Structure 1
Amino acid sequence: MSKRGLKRREFLSAAATLAGASAVAPPSAGDSAAGVVSVSHPYPIPSRNASYKATVPDTLDLTERARLGLNGLTGTLDWGEIPEFYFRVTLAPPQMGHDSLSHCACGPKYFEAFPMLRAMTGSDLNADVEARYNQYMLSSLGEDGLFYTRITAKRPWDRTSPEDYANIYGQGRMIRAMLAHYFVDRNPEWMRRLEKLVNKLREIAVYKDDYIYFPTSPGYGDIFSYPKSGWKITELHRGPQQTMADLPDHTMGIPMYLGGTLLPLVRYAEAAGDEKALDLAGKLARFLLKPDSAWIPDGYAKGVTPAEHGQFRGHLHAHTMTLRGILAYGVATNDTGIKAFARDGYEFARTMGIGRLGWFAEYTGKHSHETCGLGNMIALGIQLSEAGVGDYWDDVDGYVRNHLVEGQFTDLASLRSLNSSLSAEQEKMLERSVGTFAGWGTPVALSTVLMNCCMANGSQALYYPWASTVRYSNGSVRVNLPLNRASPWLDVDSYLPYEGKVVLHSKQANRVLVRIPSWVDRHALKCDVDGQACMPPFAGNYLVLDAVRENSSITLTFPIREEPERFVLDDYGHKGSQILRTYTYHFTFRGSTAVKVVSDAPGPNLYDGIKPAAVPTYAAYKDREPFRKPSAPMKTVERHSTEARILSW
């Protein structure tokens, strides 16, 4: 198989390659590929000559988090004959298991995350494990183009359908996954497969008035799934036998399973220049924008029509997924009203938790966060800002520096300490779990019961700000976030939160625009270029430096101070209607970074997002006291620089 990408015959024979592979043993410690069938990469690993040594501040580096994420992604795949991901992983005691429905909707999320993390890191960690997974995903594409979940004896964990089925949300995620690979290797076979899948979605959609929807067939896999033999019903609702799809306020079903398909259709239409696909997306958008599809009905708040402002109750991840699609469609068609709807919905969602921290309730009023929802909020903040619909870069910076990275399990010793004893097999499971993301948790305690949709979405959420920190166009570089980043055009060294200092190393930039966070006192801001003091003009929130020379260093310094802030959260439980308890949290921030937390929550903060029984938790924000020191530690690292820009999200 060519390292330049899949040729057509190789692409079509991926299923046969996988079918011929026997069950394999997991890699042994110290050898990431031991015992794994050797398969060439289905996309090129970025060139190693784009890597170099540099001495940099030892502060948040999303590339390092992505390397850990690769361990978590590959580690939570089944290394046996059927390489699906393990949806449910527990860390105390260590266990990994499949469930019946997650692959159909979430399997492609891993498929999309891999090229993102490879682009960030240049790493080939467990690449053969990933290659088997990628081939398995390709083998799941049917002759009609859809991504099918197979009902076979080799998948005994799924007996939810008498035949193969194609989940509608899973189709959207498969579109995004194949687009991600296409943007890395530009192999036209990806686009041929994508066109076939989108055409089949157009064929099976139910058309009514000026909109479309996809029905749900009870007894055939997850909700909103298409049986391979065809729809059994075409009505949206099916009467008294209730599922998530039928809840009166649609807290998850419609906005997740149908709304999650809108963004992929728009991204495909943009990449392929396919007007028919954009028209299909428009019909789906019109359905999703209907007041009774996903939004709070009128009368919820006096003087406000919530359904016209993206306001919702219920599942945050589902509704913000719909908002991402609505925003993408509004930008693609330059529809001002639709863009404003997405902005209003984002700002409403930001009130559902602790916005400055990036902790958002999984369900309205629930004292539990879900990493998937945070990933959507990061994407929305970035794309609203880049579309000129608002300036939410400070939001994004806070989300990333706080609950995104705190939600990643990075310390093997801490994971071991949660267990009184470990077998050799359990020890290996913990090693494989380093780099995973929490499924649930309070602002200060992460559940050790994981749901690995969050593993994939958390990994992708690392890519979004990494890719957006530095943007290049026609000789100009725009620095949107004060995060460490190596790029072909300019490198960013961030000393935050220890010091108010950011250093930019120009490579191929004639003009540099660097956004100054809103918490910075502009009167105290200092700038020098190659040691010469200057004060360039502002354009909005961006400092503008013209006539920048190659290899110039731009140093920005400013005071950074600590700010205490108090947050109060009411807990209504899971879909409850009465307050069970009120929690108070006291955080201290340096810039966007939380450096201290005091909570009135009792005991060890035992929490489980599903089971009523308590489980051990992994403490969040416990190691941040060093961030209060006045100078940043330094380290020498190998930096990786790539031009890869993946536009699937």
Structure 2
Amino acid sequence: GKDIEEHYRHNLMSFFREDGLSYRRNTFTQDVIEEHQSQFVESASMIDQRAVILGLTTWLIATGDEKVKAAADKHCAALKRIARKERDSWYYPASEYTKTGWPSFDAVHTRLTVDPAAMWGRQIGPLYRYYKLTGNKDAYELAENFTANIIYRSGVFNSDGSFNSALGYRNGHFHTRMGTLASLAYFGFDTSDSSIISFVKKSYDWALTQCTSFGWTPGDMHDQAYEHETCTLVDAIHTGIILAQSGYPQYWGCVERFLRNHLTESQLMEVDWIEDMDNKSMDIPKQRTYYKVAQRLRGAFSGYAAPNDFVYDGKWGRGHIMDVQTCCLGAGTRGLYLGWSNIVTETRGRVMINLLLNKATHWLDIKSYMPHEGKIELDINEDIPELLIRIPKWVPFGAVEIYRTQGERRTTKTGRQTGWVKKVYMKLGSAVKGETITITFPMQVRKTVEKAWTLEYSVKWCGDDVIHIDPAGTYYPLYNNRKVHKKTPIKTKALVRSQGGLYI
């Protein structure tokens, strides 16, 4: 894959112009351009600049290449140069910047603007990430002043936290709003600004009321509402993680449900239902391909999944759009990493198990038997001064049992006999190397009615896992092939230690 990665890197750099911005090329047909009643002019889309600085930062982290840093520094300087500045509120007066400047003098003069979340709200997180890596002051200033604009001037979020659904705000487009909340949360958490975290929490709580409990999210608040994007889900996961780390640990439960369900279900693993060809006779170079599409797509994430199907049939809203988008593919991979990297964390000597998923760490190895059994095994790899584990809210705390084995010594406790933190984490006290701790609790099977905009679904759960949904999907049905066993099926794979980590 190194040759492919190198191709992507070369392609990314090829979009830059002398002014330091990344410009779009014309890939549209003449029919599409005429339908838009406009002319395509090569320009730097403000939507794209977020992804550009994000990619350059990741590239710099991986290689330390000074040429990449120079390009990123120039990029941040360009964004700062073109931003309109009103005291602490910075913004862009258009969605794109051209080689001759902003496309409309009148728009700048009369202080008009475009959807703030899409154009600069989502830039906050990537800009701040670049600042943290390099100390670039332009990046910090942009992040700080875009934050002030979004919260106090933009009108993106209503006073009750809901999304402004007006046309000028992209109909309350969920992807860009949730991405903005994730950016704000990241900036607020790292700068210890509790006012930003409070702002994010209020809007996030409202947004969750528009989603299903298993992670399906609306596209917007009008005709795009039925088009869930994996990008939105991953930003919701990211925001939930930061809120949980900011003193609201109840959000770990939401994060785990989203990870266990619509994120993992939205990854394409079975491809025998997809039609393709074993030759390139029908391919249109740089536009369309049929060649071994199924195998090439295996592992991709859905672009617009339905609650019950990888494919959105398009009967409601704008109609069928697309099944896979490369932005969602990248986001889905990032979502898996976000979940995996936060299963267990450590703060000031306190090791906290946040997500009840399998993971091997230098502190301990976690073996989760869920959803088949309510059982978590912890093999302690080194002495831990204080160990906590999150218990799902659907578990009666008195029904939790803790079994500890250290050599010949065995002890038993219940959830009533140990301390808790915020009714979320159960305290296990200190743990010593070589000790085994087993936590058990009853699994809960329940049914809920989930609303995906105007459509309703009957959902059966086992713990935090959806195991059946009605009505069922049509093309690539989700959830209904999941199996729950009385005894957990065990797969044994060798783990290899490398560079401080454990790998299969």
TM-score norm. by structure 2 comes to 0.81
Q: Could you say which residue in structure 2 is the equivalent of 1:170? A: 48
Q: Trace 1:12-161 onto structure 2 (pairs within 5 A).
A: 126-150=1-25
Contact 2:124/2:142 (<8 A) preserved: no
1:381 Cα offset (Å):
0.4
CA distance in 2, matches of 1:188, 1:473: 33
CA gap 1:640/1:203 in 2 versus in 1, 3 angstroms: farther
Q: Could you say which residue in structure 1 is the equivalent of 2:457? A: 585
Q: 5+ unaligned residues in a row in structure 2: which ranges?
A: 166-171, 281-289, 312-321
- From 72, 79, 89, the equivalent of 1:194 is 72
CA distance in 2, matches of 1:289, 1:431: 45
Name the amino acid aligned to 1:287: N
Name the amino acid aligned to 1:445: D
CA gap 1:484/1:183 in 2 versus in 1, 3 angstroms: farther
Q: Could you say which residue in structure 2 is the equivalent of 1:225? A: 96
User: 2:250 matched to 1:391?
Assistant: yes
User: 2:298 matched to 1:434?
Assistant: yes
Q: Could you say which residue in structure 2 is the equivalent of 1:621? A: 479
Q: Could you say which residue in structure 2 is the equivalent of 1:630? A: 486
Q: Could you say which residue in structure 1 is the equivalent of 2:169? A: none
CA distance in 2, matches of 1:445, 1:569: 13
Name the amino acid aligned to 2:405: D
Q: Could you say which residue in structure 2 is the equivalent of 1:22? A: none
Q: 5+ unaligned residues in a row in structure 1: which ranges?
A: 1-125, 217-223, 247-252, 297-304, 572-582, 606-616
Q: Trace 1:384-423 onto structure 2 (pairs within 5 A).
A: 384-389=243-248, 391-413=250-272, 415-416=273-274, 419=275, 422-423=277-278
User: 2:187 matched to 1:329?
Assistant: yes
CA distance in 1, matches of 2:411, 2:68: 51
CA gap 1:333/1:472 in 2 versus in 1, 3 angstroms: closer
Q: Could you say which residue in structure 1 is the equivalent of 2:142? A: 280
1:424 Cα offset (Å):
4.0
CA gap 1:359/1:640 in 2 versus in 1, 3 angstroms: farther
User: 2:215 matched to 1:358?
Assistant: yes
1:269-293 CA distance string (max 9 Å, x none): 3333445533322221222224653
CA distance in 2, matches of 1:348, 1:172: 25
1:642 Cα offset (Å):
6.9
1:21-48 CA distance string (max 9 Å, x none): xxxxxxxxxxxxxxxxxxxxxxxxxxxx
3-state SS of 2:377 partner? strand
CA gap 1:193/1:546 in 2 versus in 1, 3 angstroms: farther
- From 302, 309, 312, the equivalent of 2:164 is 312
Count of residues paired in the alignment: 458
CA gap 1:397/1:141 in 2 versus in 1, 3 angstroms: same
User: 2:207 matched to 1:349?
Assistant: yes
Q: Could you say which residue in structure 2 is the equivalent of 1:210? A: 88
Name the amino acid aligned to 1:346: Y
CA gap 1:322/1:407 in 2 versus in 1, 3 angstroms: same
3-state SS of 2:238 partner? helix
- From 415, 419, 441, the equivalent of 1:537 is 419
1:469 Cα offset (Å):
0.9
Over the residues paired in the alignment, what is the CA RMSD in angstroms?
3.1
1:407-458 CA distance string (max 9 Å, x none): 1111122x33xx4x74545461110011111111321122263232211212
CA distance in 2, matches of 1:466, 1:236: 45
Q: Could you say which residue in structure 1 is the equivalent of 2:444? A: 561
1:218-240 CA distance string (max 9 Å, x none): xxxxxx2222343233565899x
Name the amino acid aligned to 2:379: H
1:554 Cα offset (Å):
2.3
1:150 Cα offset (Å):
4.7
Contact 1:367/1:570 (<8 A) preserved: yes
3-state SS of 1:471 partner? strand
Q: Could you say which residue in structure 2 is the equivalent of 1:4? A: none
CA gap 1:441/1:277 in 2 versus in 1, 3 angstroms: closer
Contact 1:263/1:329 (<8 A) preserved: yes
CA distance in 1, matches of 2:427, 2:439: 12
1:255 Cα offset (Å):
1.2
CA distance in 2, matches of 1:405, 1:618: 14
CA gap 1:407/1:468 in 2 versus in 1, 3 angstroms: same
Contact 1:269/1:277 (<8 A) preserved: yes
Higher relative contact order (CA closer than 8 Å, sequence separation 6+): 1
CA distance in 2, matches of 1:150, 1:431: 29
CA distance in 2, matches of 1:235, 1:212: 18
CA distance in 1, matches of 2:236, 2:266: 15
Q: Could you say which residue in structure 2 is the equivalent of 1:495? A: 369
CA distance in 2, matches of 1:183, 1:570: 40
CA distance in 2, matches of 1:482, 1:641: 22
The sequence identity of aligned pairs, in percent, is 26
1:474 Cα offset (Å):
5.7
CA gap 1:550/1:342 in 2 versus in 1, 3 angstroms: same
1:497 Cα offset (Å):
0.3
1:178 Cα offset (Å):
2.5
1:487-516 CA distance string (max 9 Å, x none): 343322111100111122333452332222
CA distance in 1, matches of 2:399, 2:332: 36
Q: Could you say which residue in structure 2 is the equivalent of 1:594? A: 466
3-state SS of 1:325 partner? helix
CA distance in 2, matches of 1:643, 1:144: 40
